[in-house]
């Protein structure tokens, strides 16, 4: 059963409360809904070596993959100011859930609806790797 956008935003808000963001204090939560209705949560986890930081969207999606989910219908992302997903997260969403609806919310629950295709038009996908060209 599909969850409402409001429910996904509420769950992402709960995940945001668990974020580990001692350096930026920019807490992000995400809730991704699999095709079977299961919801997986994620929060950003920072690291003193900044490139090792992982975003909430990727935590939610990789947790879902690890649990066996393979198809996704929606993701909610909550930040203090309705910040949009970063480029890396957009690429991962394009790979794992190109048809997903995306709800981008501030901490008060005010959200807008967009799609992965709107966030990353003309994305690079696995199909583009299969060119048939031989190297060397």
User: Which of 1, 5, 10, 13 lies closest to 75, judged by CA?
Assistant: 5
Three-class DSSP category at 29 = strand
Residues designated catalytic: 57
Matching residue, tokens 């299961």: 38
Using CA atoms, how far apart are residues 14 and 5, in angstroms rounded to an integer? 14
Angle between helices 56-66 and 87-96 (to 10 degrees): 30
């Amino acid at each position: 059963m599909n969850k409402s956008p409001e429910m996904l935003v509420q769950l992402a808000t709960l995940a945001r409360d668990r974020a580990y963001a001692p350096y930026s204090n920019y807490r992000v939560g995400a809730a991704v809904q699999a095709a079977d209705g299961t919801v997986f949560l994620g929060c950003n986890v920072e690291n003193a070596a900044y490139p090792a930081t992982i975003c909430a969207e990727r935590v939610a999606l990789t947790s879902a993959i690890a649990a066996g989910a393979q198809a996704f219908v929606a993701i909610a992302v909550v930040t203090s100011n309705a910040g949009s997903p970063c480029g890396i997260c957009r690429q991962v969403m394009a790979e794992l859930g190109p048809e997903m609806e995306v709800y981008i919310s501030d901490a008060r629950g005010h959200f807008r609806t967009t799609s992965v295709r709107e966030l990353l038009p003309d994305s690079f996908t696995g199909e583009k790797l299969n060119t048939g060209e031989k190297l060397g």
